[in-house]
Amino acid sequence: MNGSNRLTEESSSSSQKAEHTHHHDHNHEHTDHTPTEGESVHPHVHSEESLRRIVNRLSRIEGHIRGIKTMVQHNTPCPDVLLQIAAVRGALDKVARIVLDEHLTECIGRAAQEGNIDVEIAQLKAALDRFLP
């Protein structure tokens, strides 16, 4: 199985799970287990609309990456391929910005209200250390 098929299947199964989970509930919660190292101590609750927006963007990026793969397979000139890779990078950066914004407004805000802001800030810093070059 190649990587793009695996991504498609994972994306499809994630979308199906999200659709199933959100059929009657407009919130998404990760509260079914005890937090381990690196996990948040509060439930991550995000609106169905927010999750759908992020998943839709990721699906478009996934299609764009498949298009780049096709370009390479058809010996498209390298500058054209690089231009498309730059577009995907920009799109991924936009998704990261949306996720970060959601985290700051929803998750960090909720942690502050619940009194565990220090843990959330530490986890965000650790994630940013891995995310940023």
- pTM attached to this predicted model: 0.62
Confidence of residue 44 (pLDDT cuts 50, 70, 90): low
| H-helix segments, 1-133 | 3-21, 48-73, 78-102, 109-114, 117-131
- pLDDT above 90 covers a percentage of the chain that reads 45
Cβ atoms 61, 16 nearer than 8 A: no
pLDDT tens string 80-112: 999 999 999 999 999 999 999 988 888 888 888
Please state, rounded to an integer, the average pLDDT across all residues of the chain.
Answer: 76
pLDDT confidence of residue 15 = 40
Determine the Cα–Cα distance for residues 8 and 66; give it in Å rounded to an integer.
10
